[in-house]
Amino acid sequence: MPRLRMIKGVPSLRLRPYLSSPPEPLKPSFRIFKTVPLLRNDRYEALVQRQVVGFVPTMGALHEGHLALIRQAARETDQVYVSIYVNPTQFGVNEDLSSYPQTWPTDYQKLATMEQELSRENTRGRIHAIFLPNTTTMYPGLPPSSEIEGDGSFVTITPLAKKLEGASRPVFFRGVATVVMKMLNIVQPEKIYFGQKDVQQTFVVKRMVRDFHLNTKVIVAPTVREDDGLAMSSRNVYLGARRRRVALVLLNALKAVQEVFARGARKRVYLHKAAMEVLTKVQKQQQALPASQRARFEIDYISIADTETLDELEEVASEHGAIVSGAIKMLPIEEPRPGEELGIGGDASAVRLIDNIRLDLLSAKLDFLT
Ligand code: PAF
């Protein structure tokens, strides 16, 4: 029961807690580090206390996919470190670095809410620290270059980084490997968490960890999807309703591969054809519509690759399965209609979408039946 108080001159007024003002929002207890030495001191304490550290690297614009990684890290480790840093070296010179969504106030709120959730659930670990460096901190030497021939201290993982995404975005995985190596050296986590959506990124990082004897375990968590199946991505905010609907074609193409695999197809030619049929059919349908109604896209690739090496397969062995991945580029909307629901930036720029599914007998059968 709240304690009753008499207010001078107003004897009958009884105050209840929070009657006049709402409760202050809980201040999260995680620490925010912008520089390396302070974070290192903190990390040293964790080491001394034998706390197991899990690390979730992000570029901000946090969505449910990131939060799922944080939740998993909190279940599996004692202290979760999250980084938010939009890494310039993984953007090519003509890519969307300047327009990449930067949403620190909402990211902060999401992390604070997540921390309350973790504390309610009494998970093993909590969000312990956010690392929020700037580019001078991350690249203390030369200004980072996004040119292929540019100078700098880079980590390159070839030929893995040249395939698939790397073929269209030649500096992308050099930038990812370089910044993740830096982050690993700074945070030194026992476990680092990535989403399956960026499957090639997970391969590049695992290869780097193995080849450079890095003392961390790479954990890959399932792709988190919107209700209709679209893989969550920070870039989805650029898709207005029209492009958003058509964007599902990529997942439908991957599912078509899963279906023919479940029916017994093993040769690349049939599996690949199943995906391309879905993509080209929708592509033609869209092309035939007037500019005020269509959402056009380009097909970059459909890959059917080995689960260990990401090498393209001519035939999928039933016992090994495969990773089927793809990329499409949603082109800008040519003629927005008055009142049409547009994405951030008015659907005026192309948006590259990627997705993948694991092809194996178990998941093929399960997905096929549902
Ligand atoms: O997946 C991402 O958000 C980025 O590629 C990463 C791993 C944070 C490196 O900048």
Which CATH number goes with the domain that contains 343? Answer: 3.30.1300.10
Mean pLDDT of the chain: 91
Cα 136 to averaged position of ligand 1 atoms, centre (Å): 18
* pLDDT tier for residue 7 given thresholds of 50, 70 and 90: very low
Pocket of ligand 1 (CB under 6 A): 57-59, 87, 90, 176, 179-180, 198, 201
Whether 50 shows a pLDDT value over 60: the answer reads yes
Residue nearest to atom 9 of ligand 1 (CA): 176
Average pLDDT on 296-310 reads 96
What distance in Å separates the CA atoms of residue 131 and residue 84, rounded to the nearest whole number?
Answer: 6
Whether 314 shows a pLDDT value over 80: the answer reads yes
* CB atoms closer than 10 angstroms to residue 146: 20
Instruction: Indicate if 248 and 134 belong to the same structural domain.
Output: no
Cα 217 to averaged position of ligand 1 atoms, centre (Å): 17
Whether 291 shows a pLDDT value over 80: the answer reads yes
Average pLDDT on 60-85 reads 98
Q: Which residue from 67, 96, 199, 201 has its CB within 8 A of the most atoms of ligand 1, so it is best to mutate?
A: 201
Dihedral angle over CA of 163, 167, 168, 171, nearest 10: 90
Give me the pLDDT at residue 133, please. Answer: 98
Residue 45 in domain: yes
Whether 25 shows a pLDDT value over 80: the answer reads no
CB distance 58 to 140 below 8 Å: no
Domain of 134, in residue numbers: 31-221
Supply 56's token pair: 């979730």
Whether 362 shows a pLDDT value over 70: the answer reads no
Give me the pLDDT at residue 369, please. Answer: 38
Whether 24 shows a pLDDT value over 60: the answer reads no
Q: For 319-328, how does the pLDDT look when each residue is reduced to its tens digit (9 = 90+)?
A: 999 999 999 9
Instruction: Indicate if 183 and 245 belong to the same structural domain.
Output: no
What distance in Å separates the CA atoms of residue 186 and residue 212, rounded to the nearest whole number?
Answer: 15
Instruction: Indicate if 209 and 279 belong to the same structural domain.
Output: no
Q: For 225-265, how does the pLDDT look when each residue is reduced to its tens digit (9 = 90+)?
A: 999 999 999 999 999 999 999 999 999 999 999 999 999 99
Residue 226 in domain: no
Residue 369 in domain: no
The CATH code of the domain that includes 183 is: 3.40.50.620
Residue 72 in domain: yes
Residue 101 in domain: yes
Ligand 1 atom closest to the CA of 205, numbered from 1: 7
Instruction: Indicate if 261 and 206 belong to the same structural domain.
Output: no
Residue 65 in domain: yes
* CB atoms closer than 10 angstroms to residue 216: 18
R_g (Cα) of the chain, nearest Å: 24
What is the value of pTM for the model shown? 0.90
Instruction: Indicate if 306 and 173 belong to the same structural domain.
Output: no
Average pLDDT on 61-83 reads 98
Instruction: Indicate if 188 and 49 belong to the same structural domain.
Output: yes
CB distance 358 to 257 below 8 Å: no
Least Cα distance to 115 among 106, 125, 101, 105 occurs for 125
